[in-house]
Chains A and B, each alone.
Chain A
Amino acid sequence: MKIPVRTKAPPFRPVERVELAPVQTHRLPGGIPLFTIGGGSEEVSRLDILFGQTLAGRENNMGVFAASALLKDGTHRRNYAEISEELDYYGAEVGASFGKDNVVVNVYILNKYMDEVFGILADLLHNPTFPAEQLETYVRNGKQRLAVSEKKVSYLTKRALNETLFGPDHRYGFSARETDFGTLSVEKVQETYRSYFMPATCRIIASGRIDGKLAERLAGHLITPAWLSGKEPGRETVTPVFPGAHSHREIEVDGAVQSSIRIGRRLFSKTHPDYLGMTVLNTVLGGYFGSRLMSNLREDKGYTYGVGSGLVSLQASGYFQVSAEVGVEVCSAAVEEIYREIGRLRDEAIPAAELELVKNYMLGSFLMGADGPFAQADLLKGVMLYGMDYTYYDRFIGTVRTMQPARLQELAQKYLQEDDLCRVVAGGKNG
């Protein structure tokens, strides 16, 4: 038996490249692009059907939320229970969700029932009715869920920070308030559906165990002349104007034993030349378990169960934020430590050993996030929205591998000045 030397780490190799399965591009009738990514050990597959275009105003945002949520709640041929029963019967899952820039309809399919599921899917997309009774349920339950969310300190700061950064009416800053539910009507949802879920903006990614005939089968069910004749998408003609000044807000919540802290600023999308560098800087600060924020606030001081930072890319913007839930009695101290850690990024070069660890971690995580056809479909979605392709990920790997401490410090000085950061705290009275 080999004798282990326990005091020294066994040799390991950092990730240098990540192989992604090839993406096949097909064009369905009407010019709708279909991308396929094969792989996986089970006879299952997934479709991601993307629709996207920009709509201004609270009412339109509300309409897209409702249309997504109610897509499965009735067609000219099936009522909500029949749709749900049939999908369940075929072991399929359909879900539509509205992200800030598009709606994604996810379809999980047992391959042996692929044609049956395509048939139901076509009915959902071609003939949704958004029945009044289902809309009432959505509004009734939506208002109650909102009232429950408003009891959560982390929800309050999330909403407040988004509104601060992007304004409450832009889709990036929008969160539904109780009054917004009142703007919904069957006609409004139908109208929103017709103008948002259009073939002209539709793109489809199919991943998993899929065969070459998929495009034909899908087209046979989904693409009909009536559907393709939907109207042309509108365009956002005005460049959005976001709020300017930074601000600090405190929201008092009676009886809270923890406070939620969010500190952040508006930044840019992943097409910006500094974006990749900022992902490295963000990881150092709060992007992994061993990050500076976690080491300081959790592992050294025990202020919190979890603290982290994130960088979010949006089509027309983006933002950076730090968030934590901490005991009310240590809230001020925690805020101070967060600023201290951000300050250290501006004032000191990151030590080489720490940066090496972050690089290895980021590349390893990327490898994990690229594992299997579904994960790779997500990677494709993550660049398609920006008009980019997989070469973005080559740049990501290259940037991470060659990143230098001086460059990171420069980025911190440029983008993480304390005066540029907004702050929201919700919770009990500060001790």
Chain B
Amino acid sequence: MIEFNRYVLDNGLRLLVHEDRSTHLAVVNLLYDVGARDEDPAKTGFAHLFEHLMFEGSENISHYDRELEMAGGVNNAFTTNDVTNYYLSLPATNLETGLWLESDRMLGLAFSQGKLDIQKNVVIEEYKQRYLNQPYGDAWLLLRPLAYKVHPYRWPTIGKAIAHIENATLDDVRSFFYTWYRPDNAILTVSGNVRSAEVLELTEKWFGDLPPGNAPERKLPQEPEQKEARKETVSRPVPYDALYLSFHSAPRNDAGFYAADLLSDILAGGKSSRLYQALVQDRKLFTEIGAYTTGELDKGMFVVSGKLLKGVEMNLAEAAIEEELSRLRNAPPGTREVEKVKNKIESSLRFGYMDVLNKAMDLSYFELLGDAALINREAERYLSVTAGDMHREAQALFAPARSSTLFYRSESSPP
């Protein structure tokens, strides 16, 4: 049981505090309810580029990192298709430094063309390092637009193209900030060796006078139901063929997500999983294979991906995956198999909550899902899924007509 106190400031900022006496640290996690799905289709990659600019100085503080490091802290941030999340850890005695820093960059940024230009370069190098200069690095740049035709999940957080990053202007930066980076669009969690009353007082002090904003109501175009299978083939200078197969899966907060997540473990969670045993070990078609849900706020992706053993025909590999999916559509998984994947989940939740930062991140995230108390229902939501639920979910999920397949071929394999 993770206990927490919840407060809402007059300006709409939500605050969650989790006290943990077993640590000397404090964690400040600040989630902004904005991600790549909120971007203009002509200016993708912007939420992530903006995240970089959050470290380039704020209204009263020229060097965010320097001030935090001086107080013995470390920080980082990430952008997803749904949210932008900033977090820092520091000695609990220095908590106020963290709140001072986060509140100042919510108050206002030190916008400058020079800094924007530098961070554009940094992000372009990130683009190259992670997506272009890695074998198979661009697979997700291809898979998303194949799986989504309408919903903004059709582009990745890094952006559709380098040109979109190059074209970002200072006006874009300003308007994005004042639209989304307001207290009523954020969820602050403080966890660690702290006292709720004191955290509330400090939060009032540093965040209380920030004006609320007016984030637009989200009206994202929803992805229509897919009617026929989509396939795309590319050739790249990689040593072996790879295959990526995607289906649309339930939103993160739906019961269907939990069934789908368990299905992904049945398929590819470890060496006792179905795909590993059948396709890697017994039939020797793949050298590695995985299955996972993206667990996004709108309908996400359920992806099966693997690298083929050299010389294996792509259509044989594809058919072999479909065979395993059809087994799940035709019959519910066995009792012990279901218990196994549930125990695995319980274990990963428990190990995750040994870490004070994970607890803070999850509190903010579950609050965004509608109720921070969901953090304590997570295990139960997995455990209440039955084999019958998983069977029904498999039938709905793994419909061949709703699949998108990327055949990622090695330039050196025969056509």
Write the nearest CB–CB distance from A207 to chain B, whole angstroms. Answer: 10
Of listed B73, B277, B336, residue having the most chain A CB within 10 A: B73
- Across the interface, which residues of A come within 8 angstroms of B123, CB to CB? 305
8 example contacts (A-B, Cβ-Cβ < 8 A) are as follows A4-B206, A6-B103, A41-B353, A148-B238, A151-B239, A290-B65, A305-B122, A356-B70
- Across the interface, which residues of B come within 8 angstroms of A300, CB to CB? 118
Cβ-based interface call for B23 (8 A)? yes
State the interface size on chain A (CB cutoff 8 A): 84
- Across the interface, which residues of A come within 8 angstroms of B60, CB to CB? 6-7
Looking at the complex, which one of A10, A150, A304 makes contact with B125 (CB distance below 8 Å)? A304
Query: By the criterion CB–CB under 8 Å, are A372 and B23 in contact?
Result: yes
* A356 and chain B: residue at smallest CB distance: B70
Cβ-based interface call for B377 (8 A)? no
Query: By the criterion CB–CB under 8 Å, are A145 and B343 in contact?
Result: no
Q: Mark B260-304, 1 if CB is under 8 A from A, else 0.
A: 000000000111100001001100100110000000000000000
Residues of chain A whose beta carbon lies under 8 Å from any beta carbon of chain B: 1-4, 6-7, 9-15, 18-19, 39-44, 72-73, 80-85, 87-93, 108, 110, 133, 137, 140-141, 144-145, 147-148, 150-153, 208, 254-258, 288-290, 298-306, 325-327, 356-358, 360-361, 363-365, 367-368, 371-372, 374
Query: By the criterion CB–CB under 8 Å, are A41 and B74 in contact?
Result: no
Looking at the complex, which one of B25, B117, B354 makes contact with A367 (CB distance below 8 Å)? B25
Query: By the criterion CB–CB under 8 Å, are A89 and B70 in contact?
Result: no
Q: Mark B119-149, 1 if CB is under 8 A from A, else 0.
A: 1111111101110111110000000000000
CA distance A258 to B336 in the complex (A): 49
CA distance A140 to B288 in the complex (A): 11
Query: By the criterion CB–CB under 8 Å, are B270 and A15 in contact?
Result: no
CA distance A382 to B61 in the complex (A): 37
Cβ-based interface call for B347 (8 A)? yes
- Across the interface, which residues of A come within 8 angstroms of B206, CB to CB? 4
CA distance A255 to B133 in the complex (A): 9
- Across the interface, which residues of B come within 8 angstroms of A80, CB to CB? 271, 281
Query: By the criterion CB–CB under 8 Å, are B240 and A88 in contact?
Result: no
- Across the interface, which residues of B come within 8 angstroms of A44, CB to CB? 347, 350-351, 354
Query: By the criterion CB–CB under 8 Å, are A14 and B354 in contact?
Result: no
Q: Mark B188-232, 1 if CB is under 8 A from A, else 0.
A: 000000000000010011101100000000000000000000000
State the interface size on chain B (CB cutoff 8 A): 84
Query: By the criterion CB–CB under 8 Å, are B238 and A151 in contact?
Result: yes
Write the nearest CB–CB distance from B69 to chain A, whole angstroms. Answer: 4
Closest 6 CB pairs of A and B: A364-B72, A302-B121, A91-B347, A84-B272, A85-B272, A84-B271
Cβ-based interface call for B318 (8 A)? no
Query: By the criterion CB–CB under 8 Å, are A371 and B24 in contact?
Result: yes
CA distance A360 to B22 in the complex (A): 22
Given contacts A152-B135, A288-B69, A305-B125, 12 further A-B contacts (CB under 8 A): A6-B61, A6-B100, A12-B93, A12-B97, A18-B24, A73-B271, A88-B270, A90-B343, A141-B288, A301-B118, A302-B125, A361-B72
- Across the interface, which residues of A come within 8 angstroms of B100, CB to CB? 4, 6, 9-10
Residues of chain B whose beta carbon lies under 8 Å from any beta carbon of chain A: 20, 22-25, 59-61, 63, 65-67, 69-74, 89-91, 93-94, 96-97, 100, 103-104, 107, 117-126, 128-130, 132-136, 201, 204-206, 208-209, 237-240, 269-272, 277, 280-281, 284, 287-288, 307, 309-310, 336, 339-341, 343-344, 346-347, 350-351, 353-356
Query: By the criterion CB–CB under 8 Å, are B135 and A360 in contact?
Result: no
Of listed A10, A89, A299, A327, residue having the most chain B CB within 10 A: A10
Query: By the criterion CB–CB under 8 Å, are B129 and A258 in contact?
Result: yes
Write the nearest CB–CB distance from A355 to chain B, whole angstroms. Answer: 12
Write the nearest CB–CB distance from B310 to chain A, whole angstroms. Answer: 7
Query: By the criterion CB–CB under 8 Å, are B65 and A289 in contact?
Result: yes
Query: By the criterion CB–CB under 8 Å, are B347 and A10 in contact?
Result: no
* B60 and chain A: residue at smallest CB distance: A6
Write the nearest CB–CB distance from A205 to chain B, whole angstroms. Answer: 16
Known: A10-B100, A364-B71. A81 touches B271 (CB 8 A): yes
- Across the interface, which residues of A come within 8 angstroms of B23, CB to CB? 371-372
